[in-house]
């Protein structure tokens, strides 16, 4: 059986480009080059039927280490809790007050980009602090 070579994380959303550009800022990702034969993404969009324009967008890790993120337009709103979410690991290796300070600083940066701070879960006897958040369309993620 062949091994998996890549993983792509797909988001359903209303405005794929807006959500993709938000996640580019969160993760330091970039918008990949337009498809072959097109100088720009705008040129590509103009070549699509009107109903397909803006139907999807993607962003990639410029180092190639992280998964590609793909955003596809869907007609329905998100109505329940995500079954899968991203953990943005900004506190890895940090503990206590140092970890909380790193999480809070990143939270403030992301709120300025349009994210929503849901709550801060403080460290206890079993877990370190984390901050549940929502992206610009309400998709849940955690600063961890």
- pLDDT of amino acid 83: 73
- pLDDT of amino acid 4: 65
Listed as ranges, residues in the chain with pLDDT below 50 are none
User: 3-class secondary structure for the chain?
Assistant: CCCCCCCEEEEEECCHHHHHHHHHHHHCCECCCCCCCCCCHHHHHHCCCHHHCCCEEEEECCCCCCCEEEEEECCCCCCCCCCCCEEECCCCCCCHHHHHHHHHHHHHHHHHCCCEECCCECCCCCCCCEEEEECCCCCEEEEC
- pLDDT of amino acid 125: 86
List the chain domain ranges.
8-73, 86-143
pTM equals 0.85
- pLDDT of amino acid 1: 63
């Amino acid at each position: 059986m062949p091994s998996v070579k890549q993983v792509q994380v797909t988001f359903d959303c209303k405005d794929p480009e807006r959500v993709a550009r938000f996640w580019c800022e969160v993760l330091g990702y970039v918008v990949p080059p337009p498809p072959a034969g097109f100088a720009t993404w705008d040129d590509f969009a103009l070549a699509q039927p009107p109903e397909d324009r803006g139907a999807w967008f993607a962003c990639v890790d410029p180092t190639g280490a992280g998964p590609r993120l793909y955003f596809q337009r869907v007609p329905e709103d998100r109505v329940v809790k995500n079954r899968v979410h991203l953990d943005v690991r900004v506190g890895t290796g940090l503990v206590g007050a140092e970890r909380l300070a790193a999480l809070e600083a990143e939270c403030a940066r992301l709120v300025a980009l349009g994210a929503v701070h849901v709550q801060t879960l403080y460290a206890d006897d079993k877990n370190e602090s984390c901050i549940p958040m929502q992206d610009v369309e309400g998709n849940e993620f955690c600063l961890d």
